[in-house]
Amino acid sequence: MRYLISPWTLARRGILGINQRNRQYIARYNPRSLFPLVDNKLKTRETLADAGIPMANLIGVVETQSQVARAADLVAHTSGFAIKPAKGSGGKGILVVTQRDGDEFIKASGARVSRADLTRHVANIQSGLYSLAGAADVALIEDLIRPTSHFDGFTVEGVPDIRVIVCRGYPVMAMVRLSTHASDGKANLHQGAVGVGLNMATGKAISAVQHGRSLTHHPDSGKCLADLEIPDWQRLLELAAQCYDVTGLGYLGIDIVIDRDRGPLLLELNARPGLAIQLANDTGLLPRLRQLDALTGAALRRSAEVRTRYSQEWFA
Amino acid sequence: MTRAGINFWALIVGLLVVGIALILHRHWVYEVPLIHGETQTVWSVEARVEFMADDGPVKVSMARPSDQPGFTLLRQSGASPGYGLNFTEGNDPRAVWAIRHASGRQQLYYQTDLLESTFNAAEEVAPPKLFRPDWQEPYRTAVDSIFADAYAASADHYSLARELIKRVNEVDAPQHVLLLRRAYAGRLPYLLAEMLNHANIAASVVFGLELRDGRRRQQLTPLLRVWDGDDSQVFSVASENGDVPMMLWEQRGAPVLDVIGGYDSRIRFSMLRREESTYSALNDSLPVQQSLLNFSIHSLPVEEQAMFKSILLLPVGALVVCLLRIVIGIRTSGTFMPVLIAIAFMQTSLGTGIVGFILVVGTGLLVRSYLSRLNLLLVARISAVIMTVIAIISVFSVLSYKLGLTEGLKIMFFPMIILAWTIERMSILWEEEGGREVMIQGGGSLLTAVLAYGAMQHPLVQHLTFNFMGVQFVILALILLLGSYTGYRLFELHRFAVLKR
């Protein structure tokens, strides 16, 4: 493997760099005033729920210090739930409980959590331990996402999430992130998760990378990654496209999970999506983005369904 | 090209044209050389006299320097609203301010430019009248004993003075010398002048100024002047003063400052080193007077100019940061923290700076890892880290001083609040992303700081930024250009190397 690639090769392959992303896409399409909407999950939820975008059910919000003690009561009747900080980033501070055993909770990894642990976790979230710049925060408690059988053998624990880049309302590129033992069950690529690029027309795997190297089989289960196919693909892309209409952000990274019973659910929005998706797809974003840059007038007023159909046709 | 694009390029070209025009103007009209070297060193020295006026007439008389071996007086000026100012010439050159009525705090300025040159002969100064000092016991015995020893080991007045200076500065001095040293702490030149007068040798205390670039609020150093007939020599009484050029401010033994009609008077000096072409230095073509057309920092008082000298270097550091982050892609913790660290390095010297930085941040991270277990709120936690940094810096200063490493004392120049934030940010990074990321960003910050230091302490860069305002416009144009760079970063060429086919 060579350690450097020439900038001309990168340009020929249409790879988007950080400088160009910041200046030509984020700065141009994402007004600063809209950022708080995506940086706060509670606001995201409120805005998207009004527009009818499906998300995991909200069990409760712990907003004040006095409510912390009641956090455990909120989950008294559910066996599986996730607690997350509203202003967290990169999956930090998320506690996922899949089962309960009497008074104790059992995490996805099998570790046990007592009632007191749970209360302390909520208090930590409130004090800003996981939020950007340590600002005071609120804790969201959501229903657990039930994994579909489509992903059996493709992840070690947790539910894989699908990242779709949407530019000016048109889905541009997508990948699914699979957790591994190396990534400790987390779906972050730089922590060792596998990124699998997806065909925009079909939702089938194209290519895969881990730690910046391409691979064909899941490193833990040995399952062939080419067999991976995302169910409900059409609906999933439409959901991603709708987020543009609701938020007004012209360059968005949208994370979606698939629930066994409810289908695609929106997980979170990102106004500064990363560039690793190009590695997973082995394709550059630039040619597709340039095509969308050129759109004017009526092309920007199409409905999410129509935009998705165009995207699938153009970027297949 | 779009309208905004045209405006942008017009701005860039405009800035470059203005910048280069300013540089050339200063180069051609004021003869300031573009390249460092081939120049004469000019010292601008400013004296600031402060006192409380007695609500009545005030007369202030201040000694002022004259031509002397090593320095030629180029120009002088004074500023003080309402006061009449005269420069008396002749035997005892002084600046005299006077006013009919003044009350409250008063500030008077005297500024002079001195050219470093060797062609002045020492001025002949008439010997002062002898005086007969007297000492109380036990000092009298001590004085007699030292004088007798020095007298025996010398041949003439000058060697006697040298012997006396050597004896009072001795490291393992006998008891009676220590006694005198304690009694005359800080006034040793006066003691020596008294001793010489006692032996009928004309001697007096004169005052010199150590010239160090960019210093503010300096005081005069008392020196000893000894006469042999009409001939005289000046001796430094302090045992050690290094290679610092010493300019005689007052060389006749007269008082430096004399205030009639005021009290609480004091005098402080600021100084600045400048390189000028010989032509311009001798032709006095740099206008000193304030005028709206002369819109440059060189029209400011010397004290403010000295401050600007380092401020004007900041853009160079910012440019280095822009280059490293935008074109190379180095990650640093805190965008401009490395520039501040680089400024600290300029005070401490590079080696001491790097060791000090690693020590403070490393120890700070250890303490911070304990603090994080206490689950404190952010502001309280940062405050605690700031105090930790202060404690670490104090401990290292004391420790290095005790061990005889005076270099270690320079650790005090580090910007403490910035270091505290650095520690806080790195500690969070450690918890979230692991030690590897901390090493990457910490190393990146340090590398950036070292490169920024390299650029900022380069003599040519310092010469250009201070003498040519136009350089600032050029740097701004470059930074704006970098801000519009949308090409790949060097590190991305590695990151995307897997795509090679």
Q: What is the largest CA-CA distance in chain A?
A: 62
CA A136/CA A125 separation, integer angstroms: 8
Neighbour tally for B38: CB within 10 Å: 9
Cα–Cα distances (Å) from B213 to B45, B271, B282, B310, in that order, read 10, 6, 21, 11
Positions in chain A short of pLDDT 70: 1-2, 90, 132-134, 185
What amino acid is encoded at B113 in this protein? D
Check if A8 contacts B (Cβ < 8 Å).
Answer: no
The DSSP 8-state label assigned to residue B118 in this structure reads: S
* B233 backbone dihedrals φ, ψ, rounded to 5°: -135, 150
Please tell me whether residue B297 adopts helix, strand or coil conformation: helix
Which chain B residues are within 8 Å of A184, Cβ to Cβ? none
CA A16/CA A23 separation, integer angstroms: 11
Check if A27 contacts B (Cβ < 8 Å).
Answer: no
Q: How close does chain B come to A46, measured CA to CA in Å?
A: 28
How big, in percent rounded to 5, are the helix, strand and coil portions of chain B?
Answer: 50, 20, 30
pLDDT the model gives residue B292: 46
Q: How close does chain B come to A127, measured CA to CA in Å?
A: 7
Check if A18 contacts B (Cβ < 8 Å).
Answer: yes
Q: Considering only alpha carbons, which residue of chain B is nearest residue A135? A: B378
Check if A281 contacts B (Cβ < 8 Å).
Answer: no
CA A285/CA A264 separation, integer angstroms: 24
- The candidate with the shortest Cα–Cα distance to B361, out of B462, B450, B301, B442, is B442
Beta-carbon contacts of residue B301 (< 8 Å; ≥ 6 apart): B46, B79, B109, B111, B270
Whether B432 sits inside 8 A of A92 (CB atoms) is: yes
Whether A213 sits inside 8 A of B375 (CB atoms) is: no
Positions in chain B short of pLDDT 50: 279, 282-293
Cβ atoms of A130 and A85 within 8 Å: the answer is: yes
What amino acid is encoded at A113 in this protein? V
Whether A124 sits inside 8 A of B378 (CB atoms) is: no
Beta-carbon contacts of residue B391 (< 8 Å; ≥ 6 apart): none
Q: What is the ipTM of this complex?
A: 0.82
CA B501/CA B493 separation, integer angstroms: 14
Which chain A residues are within 8 Å of B500, Cβ to Cβ? 2, 5, 9
Please tell me whether residue B246 adopts helix, strand or coil conformation: strand
Measure CB to CB from residue B487 to each of A2, A19, A212 and give the nearest one: A19
Counted across chains A and B, CB pairs separated by less than 8 A come out at 74
Measure CB to CB from residue B486 to each of A3, A24, A213 and give the nearest one: A24
The DSSP 8-state label assigned to residue B30 in this structure reads: S
Best to test chain B binding among A1, A8, A13, A18 (most B CBs inside 10 Å): A18
The DSSP 8-state label assigned to residue B335 in this structure reads: S
Count how many Cα atoms sit within 13 Å of the Cα of residue B89 in the half-sphere of its side chain: 2
Supply B214's token pair: 């960019």
Q: What is the largest CA-CA distance in chain B?
A: 97
Check if A262 contacts B (Cβ < 8 Å).
Answer: no
Cβ atoms of A226 and A16 within 8 Å: the answer is: no
pLDDT the model gives residue A133: 65
* B171 backbone dihedrals φ, ψ, rounded to 5°: -75, -55
Check if A316 contacts B (Cβ < 8 Å).
Answer: no
pLDDT the model gives residue A205: 92
Check if A274 contacts B (Cβ < 8 Å).
Answer: no
CA B1/CA B501 separation, integer angstroms: 34
Measure CB to CB from residue B498 to each of A11, A124, A213 and give the nearest one: A213
Return the H-helix or E-strand segment holding B302: helix B302-311
Long-range Cβ contacts of B240-245 (<8 Å, 24+ apart): B241/B210, B244/B210, B244/B211, B244/B212, B245/B70, B245/B116, B245/B210, B245/B211
pLDDT the model gives residue A290: 94
pLDDT the model gives residue B279: 47
Supply B168's token pair: 């009072």
Q: Check whether the bond before A85 is cis (ω within 30° of 0).
A: no
Cβ atoms of B337 and B422 within 8 Å: the answer is: yes
Cβ atoms of A172 and A166 within 8 Å: the answer is: yes
Strand order in the sheet with A58-62: A58-62, A139-143, A81-85, A95-101, A104-107, A112-113
Whether A212 sits inside 8 A of B498 (CB atoms) is: yes
Q: How close does chain B come to A215, measured CA to CA in Å?
A: 11
What amino acid is encoded at B127 in this protein? P
Which chain A residues are within 8 Å of B372, Cβ to Cβ? none
CA B70/CA B387 separation, integer angstroms: 48
Q: Which residue has the tokens 């060193």?
A: B41
Supply A131's token pair: 């939020």
Instruction: Please give the full DSSP string across chain A, using - where no structure is assigned.
Output: --S---HHHHHHTTPPPHHHIIIIIIHHHS-GGGHHHHH-HHHHHHHHHHTT--BPPEEEEE-SGGGGGGHHHHTTT-S-EEEEETTB-TTTT-EEEEEEETTEEEETTS-EE-HHHHHHHHHHHHTTSSBGGG----EEEEEPPPPPGGGTTT-SSS--EEEEEEETTEEEEEEEEE--TTTTT---GGGT-EEEEE-TTT-BEEEEEETTEE-SB-TTT--BGGG-B-TTHHHHHHHHHHHHHHH--SEEEEEEEEETTTEEEEEEEESS--STHHHHHTS-SHHHHHHHHT--GGGGSS-HHHHHHHHHHH--
Which chain B residues are within 8 Å of A18, Cβ to Cβ? 329, 489, 492
Which chain B residues are within 8 Å of A188, Cβ to Cβ? none
Q: How close does chain B come to A20, measured CA to CA in Å?
A: 4
CA B371/CA B384 separation, integer angstroms: 8
Which chain A residues are within 8 Å of B377, Cβ to Cβ? 127-128
CA B26/CA B31 separation, integer angstroms: 7
What amino acid is encoded at A151 in this protein? F
Supply B490's token pair: 């060097």
**Stated pTM of the model:** 0.72
Please tell me whether residue B99 adopts helix, strand or coil conformation: strand
CA A214/CA A281 separation, integer angstroms: 10
CA A250/CA A207 separation, integer angstroms: 27
Which chain A residues are within 8 Å of B427, Cβ to Cβ? none
CA A212/CA B499 separation, integer angstroms: 9
Count how many Cα atoms sit within 13 Å of the Cα of residue B303 in the half-sphere of its side chain: 11
Q: Which residue has the tokens 């596998």?
A: A194
Count how many Cα atoms sit within 13 Å of the Cα of residue B281 in the half-sphere of its side chain: 23
For A289-312, give the secondary structure using H, E and C. HHHHHCCCHHHHCCCHHHHHHHHH
Q: How close does chain B come to A112, measured CA to CA in Å?
A: 21
Please tell me whether residue B1 adopts helix, strand or coil conformation: coil
- The candidate with the shortest Cα–Cα distance to B499, out of A24, A254, A286, A203, is A286
CA B501/CA B498 separation, integer angstroms: 8
* B151 backbone dihedrals φ, ψ, rounded to 5°: -65, -40
How many residues does the structure list for chain B?
Answer: 501
